């Protein structure tokens, strides 16, 4: 799917500039454009690309996308109804409290960018931006193809990548963790075994998520200690070989698999647990969205749900005449507790005694896994309020 981005030079002014075309930024741009506002959406990737992501769309994520007008059924995602939690030879399975969807960011992001453009947003691709000046109600950006672009309002939706001038400052330094993602073509027996399931595999140095997405592809996303990567030779190939050697379940799933990406996607030192706390002198016209406002641990958290929720809330607050300070207080109420709970579960998954306890509890009451999943989701009342504000 090709987006309808213009190839001309971007204009030099816009009422609102959204930097970042992932779910948070593109979702906000859809709302602003449909409300008749002049919005410029800057996406740094010139063409469709894969993103490092578990690609698990929760019920809330799907609801937001449909409410924004996206035809999810046409994108061919894989329905996920059950969760398997795996440690060594122990497997615990339970039904999810909702039907999720496995859909690649390659396909989802393109569809959402295209929808934002069709909704009236001015979409510009291959555009890297930096902030050159913030003065009262006036913001200047340096944009790759346009030079200086001026705006009164900035929506910052750059994901885990900071703009140097607006860098996040986590209270706790990011841990020495590295994440990898690879798509595989697995044999038919393993593909069938993964049907309608997401698998979370705990191992000594981290965890891995495995699920199907569209077209029978299987997404492996894992997070591991940086020290373990070094012990495996510092390469993806070495890490994967050691992981399959020591994890019988993943060995069974992937022993005959063919990688579908030329190289894995990777990320390092993600500030899990970060929640944005505006300083006293924070600009009241810069709205932070998605991972720029909060980074939920991916073990049990719903990063895409938070991204879309923040985009909808930011756009709604802006359209209601509420400044960024109000929005940041609003979004913090909605997500801070969920990020904290997800952090507790993630820390439990990393410590060997608590991993054993987690597996024992899950084995005794598999529905506890569903409860844990629900506790890290955005509160239903907050989702309902936000949904009502989408026109």
Instruction: Determine, yes or no, domain membership for 89.
Output: no
The pTM score is: 0.94
pLDDT at 324 over 50: yes
349 pLDDT band (50/70/90 cuts)?
confident
Instruction: Determine, yes or no, domain membership for 90.
Output: no
pLDDT of residue 362: 77
Instruction: Determine, yes or no, domain membership for 93.
Output: no
- Which of these three, 268, 291, 310, is where a domain ends? 268
375 pLDDT band (50/70/90 cuts)?
confident
SS3 category, 245: helix
pLDDT of residue 365: 81
Asked if residue 364 and residue 248 are part of one domain, the reply reads no
> How far is CA 251 from its chain centroid?
27
SS3 category, 18: strand
pLDDT at 5 over 60: no
pLDDT of residue 2: 47
- Residues with Cβ within 8 Å of 262's Cβ and at least 6 positions away in sequence, in order, are none
- Which of these three, 243, 268, 293, is where a domain ends? 268
Residue the block writes with tokens 């990406």: 261
89 touches 9 (CB < 8 A): no
For residues 192 and 213, what is the distance between their CA atoms, to the nearest angstrom?
13
Q: Which domain holds residue 36?
A: 13-77+98-170+274-388
pLDDT at 283 over 70: yes
Average pLDDT, integer, range 268-288: 95
Where residue 373 falls (left for φ over 0; alpha for ψ -120 to 50; beta otherwise) is alpha
CATH of the domain at 143: 3.50.50.60
| 199-234 pLDDT, tens digit each | 999 999 999 999 999 999 999 999 999 999 999 999
- Which of these three, 240, 268, 296, is where a domain ends? 268
pLDDT of residue 351: 75
- Say how many C-beta atoms besides its own lie within 10 A of residue 79's C-beta: 11
Asked if residue 33 and residue 158 are part of one domain, the reply reads yes
Asked if residue 263 and residue 289 are part of one domain, the reply reads no
| DSSP secondary structure code for residue 166 in this structure | G
Paired tokens of 38: 């002049």
Instruction: Determine, yes or no, domain membership for 85.
Output: no
For residues 28 and 155, what is the distance between their CA atoms, to the nearest angstrom?
8
- Of 83-97, 210-224, 278-292, least confident by mean pLDDT is 83-97
Q: Where are the beta strands (DSSP E) in 129-253?
A: 129-135, 138-143, 147-156, 177-185, 197-203, 206-212, 218-225
Asked if residue 202 and residue 151 are part of one domain, the reply reads no
Instruction: Determine, yes or no, domain membership for 122.
Output: yes
pLDDT at 135 over 90: no
Asked if residue 132 and residue 39 are part of one domain, the reply reads yes
Paired tokens of 106: 């390659």
What is the pLDDT of the chain when averaged over all its residues? 93
Strand partners, 180: 222, 266
State how many domains the chain has. Answer: 2
pLDDT at 263 over 70: yes
**Which of 303-312, 342-351, 353-362 is modeled with the greatest confidence?**
303-312
> Who wins on pLDDT, 22 or 95?
22
Strand partners, 125: 43
CATH of the domain at 244: 3.30.9.100
| 26-55 pLDDT, tens digit each | 999 999 999 999 999 999 999 999 999 999
User: How much of the chain exceeds pLDDT 90, in percent?
Assistant: 80
Average pLDDT, integer, range 12-19: 95
Picking from 234, 209, 358, the residue whose alpha carbon sits closest to that of residue 297 is: 209
pLDDT of residue 275: 97
| DSSP secondary structure code for residue 74 in this structure | G
Asked if residue 345 and residue 305 are part of one domain, the reply reads yes
Pairing between β-strand 147-156 and β-strand 286-288 as defined by DSSP bridges: parallel
For residues 354 and 149, what is the distance between their CA atoms, to the nearest angstrom?
51
3-state helix, strand, coil in the chain (%, to 5): 40, 25, 35
Size of the chain in residues: 391
| DSSP secondary structure code for residue 275 in this structure | B
Asked if residue 27 and residue 131 are part of one domain, the reply reads yes
80 touches 96 (CB < 8 A): yes
Pairing between β-strand 197-203 and β-strand 258-259 as defined by DSSP bridges: unpaired
pLDDT at 8 over 80: no
pLDDT of residue 6: 53
Q: How far apart are the first and last CA of the chain?
A: 26
Asked if residue 293 and residue 256 are part of one domain, the reply reads no
Asked if residue 206 and residue 146 are part of one domain, the reply reads no
pLDDT of residue 23: 98
Asked if residue 256 and residue 374 are part of one domain, the reply reads no
Picking from 211, 342, 203, 179, the residue whose alpha carbon sits closest to that of residue 275 is: 342
pLDDT of residue 9: 61
Asked if residue 156 and residue 140 are part of one domain, the reply reads yes
For residues 130 and 132, what is the distance between their CA atoms, to the nearest angstrom?
6
For residues 156 and 291, what is the distance between their CA atoms, to the nearest angstrom?
10
- C-alpha distances in angstroms, 64 versus 57, 70, 71, 363, 389? 10, 9, 11, 33, 11
Instruction: Determine, yes or no, domain membership for 7.
Output: no
Asked if residue 238 and residue 280 are part of one domain, the reply reads no
Paired tokens of 374: 């629900």
């Amino acid at each position: 799917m090709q987006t309808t981005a213009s190839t001309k030079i971007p204009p030099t002014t816009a009422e609102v500039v959204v930097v970042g075309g992932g779910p948070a930024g593109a979702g906000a741009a859809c709302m602003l454009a449909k409300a008749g506002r002049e919005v410029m959406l800057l996406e740094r990737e010139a063409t469709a690309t894969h993103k490092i992501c578990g690609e698990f769309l929760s019920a809330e994520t799907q609801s937001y996308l449909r409410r924004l007008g996206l035809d999810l059924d046409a994108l061919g995602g894989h329905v996920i109804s059950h969760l398997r939690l795996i440690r060594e030879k122990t497997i615990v399975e339970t039904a999810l409290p909702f039907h999720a969807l496995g859909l690649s960011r390659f396909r989802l992001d393109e569809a959402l960018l295209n929808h934002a453009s069709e909704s009236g947003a001015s979409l510009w691709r291959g555009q890297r931006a930096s902030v050159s000046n913030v003065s009262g109600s006036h913001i200047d950006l340096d944009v790759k193809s346009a030079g200086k672009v001026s705006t009164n309002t900035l929506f910052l939706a750059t994901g885990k990548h900071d703009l140097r001038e607006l860098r996040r400052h986590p209270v706790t330094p990011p841990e020495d963790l590295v994440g990898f993602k690879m798509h595989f073509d697995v044999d038919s027996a393993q593909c069938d075994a993964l049907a309608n399931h997401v698998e979370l595999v705990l191992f000594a140095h981290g965890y891995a998520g495995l699920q199907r997405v569209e077209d029978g592809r299987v997404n492996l996303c894992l997070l591991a200690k940086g020290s373990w990567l070094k012990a495996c030779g510092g390469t993806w190939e070495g890490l994967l070989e050691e992981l399959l050697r020591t994890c019988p379940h993943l060995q069974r799933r992937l022993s005959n698999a063919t990688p579908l990406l030329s190289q894995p996607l990777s990320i390092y030192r993600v500030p899990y647990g970060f929640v944005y706390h505006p300083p006293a002198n924070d600009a009241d016209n810069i709205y932070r969205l998605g991972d720029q406002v909060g980074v939920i641990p991916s073990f049990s958290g719903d990063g895409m749900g938070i991204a879309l929720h923040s985009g909808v809330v930011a756009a709604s607050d802006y359209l209601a005449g509420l400044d960024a300070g109000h929005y940041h207080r609003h979004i913090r109420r909605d997500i801070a507790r969920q990020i904290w709970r997800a952090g507790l579960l993630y820390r439990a998954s990393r410590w060997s005694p608590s991993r054993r306890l987690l597996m024992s509890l899950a084995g005794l009451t598999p529905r506890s896994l569903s409860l844990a999943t629900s506790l890290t989701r955005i509160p239903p009342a907050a989702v309902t309020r936000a949904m009502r504000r989408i026109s």
